[in-house]
């Protein structure tokens, strides 16, 4: 065996080794998902066995059928879509405006205000849950998707992401716009916003994922089953007084996850770019 083939062999072995490690990690990360997928075709009896079994026997689609037999299932999907839609729209509108103001306008107290806003990131949501509840209650919007969405129409991390993005745009373009006749508002609509499409895409995807999967907020603020979002509805439907029937919930979660998975596959470019923007200059 000469030197070159020896080196090629070592290289091949190394690649095999790396792939084995990566596959193992991928399997570890994927295993809950795989487990859910398999379990969704099992009976509750089999799914709750210990040690866990991996092949559905008997194979059943009863869990999915149960789901579609639920009268409110389409309603919950609509509610989730409405909730996520409102939040995405709100974040795109308000976070882009706030981010623009923090990045491009000069007003007294701007930096102090921005620091205060960032400090909000440190506050756990459980701290604000009760005050928020009281506010929404006084507004008469408890048990109302719109009332719940109101709480999340703007978001610190979205504002931060938009601000970073606007800061990364060249100053000279805004100077040129100013000379061409744009005040701050026209510059926002004609220049800043069209240039911010990648950042807006990232905000939309993040907020959609967060809203679609949200559990705690909807659980606390919504009361009537017909107003539930999908995650809350599912746990409501299959929670018995002493135990929870998990297999239909798992099936429901997989159905619920479908849009987010599709969204992720389609838009992961934007997600990654969003992270890159936030990691940019501060």
Partner 1 sequence: MARVLLKNVVKKFGNVVAVNHVNLEVKDREFMILLGPSGCGKSTTLRLIAGLETPDEGEIWIGDRLINDIDPTKRNVAMVFQSYALYPHMTVYQNIEFPLKMSRVPKNERRRRVIEAARFLGIEDLLNRYPKQLSGGQQQRVALARAIVREPEVFLLDEPLSNLDAKLRVKMRFELRHLLHDELKVTTIYVTHDQVEAMTMADRIAVMNQGRIMQIGTPVEVFEKPANMFVAGFIGVPPMNFFYGSLVSRGKELVLDTGGLEINIPNSYTKSLQEYVGREIVMGIRPQEITIHTEPIEYAYPGKIIGYEPLGTELYIHFTIDEKTDYVAVVKQRLAINLGQQIYWRPSPSKLYFFDKKTGNAIY
Query: Which positions ≥6 away from 44 have C-beta within 8 Å?
Result: 245, 246, 247
Least separation in angstroms between residue 177's CB and partner 1 is 8
Burial label, 166 (beta-carbon count in 10 A; 0-12, 13-18, 19+): buried
Q: Which region among 9-17, 82-90, 113-121, 182-190 touches partner 1 (by CB under 8 A)? A: 182-190
Number of residues that this document lists for the chain:
282
CA pair distance 82, 68, nearest whole angstrom: 20
Q: Which region among 1-9, 179-187, 241-249, 255-263 touches partner 1 (by CB under 8 A)? A: 179-187
CB 35 within 8 A of CB 51: no
Q: Which region among 6-14, 51-59, 176-184, 266-274 touches partner 1 (by CB under 8 A)? A: 176-184
- Please select the residue that binds partner 1; options are 86, 177, 222, 234, rule is CB under 8 A: 177
Distance, C-alpha 56 to centroid of its chain: 31
Binding residues for partner 1 restricted to 186-225, rule: CB under 8 A: 186, 190-191, 194-195
- Please select the residue that binds partner 1; options are 81, 156, 182, 263, rule is CB under 8 A: 182
CA pair distance 207, 187, nearest whole angstrom: 26
User: What is the separation, in whole angstroms, between the first and last Cα of the chain?
Assistant: 55
Asked, as a colleague might, if the bond just before 58 is cis with ω within 30 of 0, I would say: yes
Q: Which region among 53-61, 138-146, 183-191, 262-270 touches partner 1 (by CB under 8 A)? A: 183-191
Q: Is 51 in the site for partner 1 (CB under 8 A)?
A: no
Between 246 and 270, CB nearer to partner 1: 270
Between 66 and 104, CB nearer to partner 1: 104
Q: Is 170 in the site for partner 1 (CB under 8 A)?
A: yes
Angstrom CA distances, 187 to 71, 94, 154, 182, 205, stand at: 49, 16, 22, 5, 25
Least separation in angstroms between residue 195's CB and partner 1 is 6
Least separation in angstroms between residue 108's CB and partner 1 is 16
Between 109 and 194, CB nearer to partner 1: 194
Query: Which positions ≥6 away from 231 have C-beta within 8 Å?
Result: 80, 213, 214, 215, 218, 253, 256
Q: How many residues form the binding site for partner 1 (CB under 8 A)? A: 16
SS3 215: coil
Nearest to 212 by CA among 75, 47, 119, 83: 83
- Please select the residue that binds partner 1; options are 173, 258, 262, 275, rule is CB under 8 A: 173
- Please select the residue that binds partner 1; options are 30, 176, 185, 272, rule is CB under 8 A: 176
Least separation in angstroms between residue 190's CB and partner 1 is 8
Between 71 and 106, CB nearer to partner 1: 106
* Residues near partner 1 (CB under 8 A): 170, 172-173, 175-182, 186, 190-191, 194-195
């Amino acid at each position: 065996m000469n030197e070159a083939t020896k080196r090629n062999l070592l290289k091949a072995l190394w690649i095999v080794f790396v792939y084995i490690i990566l596959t193992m990690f991928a399997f570890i990360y994927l295993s809950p998902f795989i487990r859910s997928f398999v379990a969704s075709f099992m009976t509750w009896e089999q799914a709750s066995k210990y040690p866990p079994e991996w092949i559905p026997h008997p194979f059943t689609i009863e869990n999915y059928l149960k789901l579609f037999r639920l009268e409110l299932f389409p309603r919950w999907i609509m509610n989730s879509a409405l909730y996520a839609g409102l939040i995405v729209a709100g974040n795109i509108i308000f976070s882009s405006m706030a981010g623009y103001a923090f990045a491009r306008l000069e007003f007294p107290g701007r930096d102090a205000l921005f620091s205060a806003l960032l400090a909000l990131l440190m506050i756990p949501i459980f701290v604000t849950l009760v005050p928020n509840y009281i506010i929404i209650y006084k507004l008469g919007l408890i048990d109302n998707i719109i009332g719940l969405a109101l709480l999340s129409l703007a978001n610190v991390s979205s504002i931060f992401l938009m601000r970073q993005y606007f800061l990364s745009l060249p100053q000279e373009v805004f100077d040129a716009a100013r000379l061409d006749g744009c005040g701050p508002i026209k510059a926002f609509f004609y220049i800043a916003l069209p240039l911010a499409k990648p950042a807006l895409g990232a905000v939309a995807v993040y907020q959609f994922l967060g809203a679609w999967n949200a559990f705690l907020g909807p659980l606390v603020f919504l009361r009537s089953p017909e107003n539930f979002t999908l995650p809350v509805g599912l746990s409501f439907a299959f929670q018995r007084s002493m135990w929870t029937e998990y297999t239909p919930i798992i099936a429901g979660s997989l159905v619920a996850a479908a849009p987010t998975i599709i969204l992720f596959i389609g838009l992961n470019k934007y997600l990654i770019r969003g992270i890159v923007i936030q990691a940019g200059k501060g």
